[in-house]
Structure 1
Amino acid sequence: MELLVGAAWLWCAFRFGANFTGLRVAVFASVLIGIAITDARHYVIPDGYTITGLLWTLATAIVVLFTNPVHAYSSPFSGPYDALIGACVGAGAISITGWLGEASLKKEAMGFGDVTLMAFVGAALGPGRALLTIFIGAAIGAAVFLLIVLPVMKIRGRGKSEPGTLPLVPFGVFLAPAAFVTLLWGHDMISWYLKFTGL
């Protein structure tokens, strides 16, 4: 984890420069790396990552608003108003997704850590990119499940011995990289989609 975090900070300094935006992106990446690795290892997303990240994101959005109002709405991060809405939309959307998954699978499909994760991500990205993050994360998760997990299950014979059992899939592992991709290119992706669909 330390190597990944160090590499992320170096990349952020190179990409954004040694400034406050670079610091915010580096912290965002560090929190996401911690979340992804912890969720992959232990199937849990600690509040220490998500709640701390949420508070940091809201606090820095306010700092930027008062110190550099123009930059507050031109940086990769959302301004304070969109941050608050994004936190609610992100948490609400993932809660609905979990409820639908639980209704269809007849078992718990989403932990509360995913909810606080998307509150943190929504605060950083705003409502539109928060929804895009969930879509990208779900797409990555579905691809990994269909192309890797299911074939491995068949090779190991689990499909025959336990036909009604599906393995646990830590959704945070997919939401975390999706959030970082959306931070960097989410606006372009949404603009392309709106142009493509004529909306």
Structure 2
Amino acid sequence: MENLFYFYLFAAFIFGLIVGSFLNVVIYRLPRGKSVASPAFSFCPSCGQKIKWYDNIPVLSYLILKGRCRHCGNRIGLRYPFVEILTGIASVAALWKTGLSIDYIFVFLFLALMIAITFIDIDFKIIPDEINFIGAVSGLIYSFFRTDFSWIDALIGAAVGAGFLFGIAYFYLKFRGIEGLGMGDVKMMAFVGTYIGWFGSLFTIFFGSLLGAVVGILGAYLSKSEDKGRFEIPFGPFLAFASVIYLFFGETIKSWYFGG
């Protein structure tokens, strides 16, 4: 039985690699306003040539081609296999947490969307509405399959997460006169709240803000820019990381906070 579970973990990793390959398409096309579905084939970002199936095997093809396009020879970013491997690990982590159940589907979807949000926000400092919408709807649907979490909890979590972050953004803009947070972050917290509830949302905002502040201070200090006060970093990746921490260790965190 134990050997069978390890086989499932291996299968989950391979499945994650495949999903990671698709996430690379999403990360590249969605923020550029391109269709994720059309064209259905992958193409080289440099020369636009169609990538054959045997050159599109996750990680393996990258290693065989030594990170270069077969047609033009231009280098393909290391991020592509990194996203694939990271998604493979996320798939294994989801299965390890949930076992072979319907929970795996939703937990892995949450992690996959967080990966997409992270890399899109790093590159473009935006979080596409399409991702937040899919995440929020999936979280609400998931609540009907859970025994520890109702659809009311999901809605309250979305309201608290989005509402609290919107309040921070509003007062930051009002008193400092500059936009400190984008509405993409607010909508993201509505999505996150449908999965981890009101307490998880507050933890995500607090812990994500703490991480962001530390990285921001270090980045501003190390930045060569003359206007260090205007050093900007995307907030989405920190919210994503904090939400994943709570997704896996939420019960422990909540128990510790309330003195359990």
TM above 0.5 = yes
Structure 1 runs (4+) greater than 6 angstroms displaced: none
Which of these residues, 68, 76, 90, is aligned with residue 8 of structure 1?
90
Post-superposition offset of 1:190: 2.4
Q: 2 CA distance for matches of 1:170 and 1:2?
A: 22
Between Structure 1 and Structure 2, which shows a larger proportion of helix residues?
1
Q: 2 CA distance for matches of 1:45 and 1:107?
A: 19
| Counterpart code for 1:117 | M
2:16 is aligned to none
Query: Residues 132 and 186 of structure 1 are in contact (CA less than 8 Å); yes or no, is this contact kept in structure 2?
Result: no
Q: 2 CA distance for matches of 1:46 and 1:186?
A: 26
Q: 2 CA distance for matches of 1:90 and 1:83?
A: 10
Post-superposition offset of 1:177: 0.6
Post-superposition offset of 1:151: 2.2
2:236 is aligned to 172
Q: 2 CA distance for matches of 1:151 and 1:162?
A: 11
2:221 maps to 1:151: yes
2:164 is aligned to 93
Q: 2 CA distance for matches of 1:162 and 1:178?
A: 29
| Counterpart code for 2:236 | G
| Counterpart code for 2:147 | A
Query: Residues 35 and 173 of structure 1 are in contact (CA less than 8 Å); yes or no, is this contact kept in structure 2?
Result: yes
Query: 1:54-93 counterparts in 2 under 5 A?
Result: 54-62=136-144, 64=145, 71-73=146-148, 78-93=149-164
1:91 counterpart SS class: helix
Post-superposition offset of 1:48: 1.4
Which of these residues, 95, 110, 124, is aligned with residue 181 of structure 2?
110
2:157 counterpart SS class: helix
1:137 is aligned to 208
1:151 counterpart SS class: helix
Post-superposition offset of 1:191: 2.0
1:68 is aligned to none
Q: 2 CA distance for matches of 1:49 and 1:61?
A: 18
TM-score, normalised to structure 1, is 0.83
2:258 counterpart SS class: helix
**Larger mean Cα displacement after TM superposition, 1-10 or 91-100:** 1-10
Output one character per residue of 1:53-112: Cα deviation in whole Å (capped at 9) or x when no partner: 1001111212x1xxxxxx521xxxx32110011111111011011122223432111111
1:72 counterpart SS class: coil
Q: 2 CA distance for matches of 1:150 and 1:13?
A: 39
Query: Residues 212 and 235 of structure 2 are in contact (CA less than 8 Å); yes or no, is this contact kept in structure 1?
Result: yes
Runs of 5+ consecutive residues of structure 2 not aligned to the other structure = 1-82
Query: Residues 36 and 172 of structure 1 are in contact (CA less than 8 Å); yes or no, is this contact kept in structure 2?
Result: yes
Q: Computing the radius of gyration over CA atoms, which structure comes out larger, 1 or 2? A: 2
Q: 2 CA distance for matches of 1:126 and 1:60?
A: 12
1:162 is aligned to 227
Q: 2 CA distance for matches of 1:72 and 1:60?
A: 10
| Counterpart code for 2:162 | A
Post-superposition offset of 1:144: 0.9
Query: Residues 91 and 108 of structure 2 are in contact (CA less than 8 Å); yes or no, is this contact kept in structure 1?
Result: yes
Runs of 5+ consecutive residues of structure 1 not aligned to the other structure = 65-70
Query: Residues 121 and 130 of structure 1 are in contact (CA less than 8 Å); yes or no, is this contact kept in structure 2?
Result: yes
**Paired positions, count:** 178
